[in-house]
Amino acid sequence: MNISAERVVTNMEEQLRLLKQAINNQDHQAVREYTSVIEGYCRLLKDTPNHSQTIQPPEHTPKPAVSTPAPTPTTQNTSEKPGSLFDF
């Protein structure tokens, strides 16, 4: 899915309008939220090599499953002295 830079800027303008309202209402929590959203839009535009083209959002790539080996049971040699450093 491609997102145009114009659409990102339009969304930024809407968030900026909401940010101004939150500042006027002295809603500090909303100010932080809208500021974070605008910051995300800025990063999205900044990371795009050519702003006039469309923005390709990152694709979700599944990570391969990592299998862990099962522990192998160890057997002790009972003919040797117990507690020897050479018992493996």
Report helix angle 28-46 to 5-24, nearest 10. 160
If you average pLDDT over residues 25-48, what whole number do you get? 92
Domain assignment of residue 82, yes or no: no
How far from the centroid of its chain's Cα atoms is residue 65's Cα? 19
The backbone torsions φ and ψ at residue 38, rounded to the nearest 5 degrees and listed phi first, read -65, -40
Domain assignment of residue 66, yes or no: no
Number of domains within the chain: 1
Average pLDDT, the chain: 76
pLDDT at 74 over 70: no
User: Terminal CA-to-CA distance of the chain, rounded, Å?
Assistant: 57
Host domain of residue 12: 3-55
C-alpha to C-alpha distance for 29 and 23, rounded to whole angstroms: 10
Which range is most confident: 10-24, 41-55, 60-74? 10-24
> What pLDDT sits at residue 47?
85
Domain assignment of residue 42, yes or no: yes
Domain assignment of residue 78, yes or no: no
Domain assignment of residue 75, yes or no: no
Q: Where residue 4 falls among pLDDT bands split at 50, 70, 90?
A: confident
> What pLDDT sits at residue 30?
94
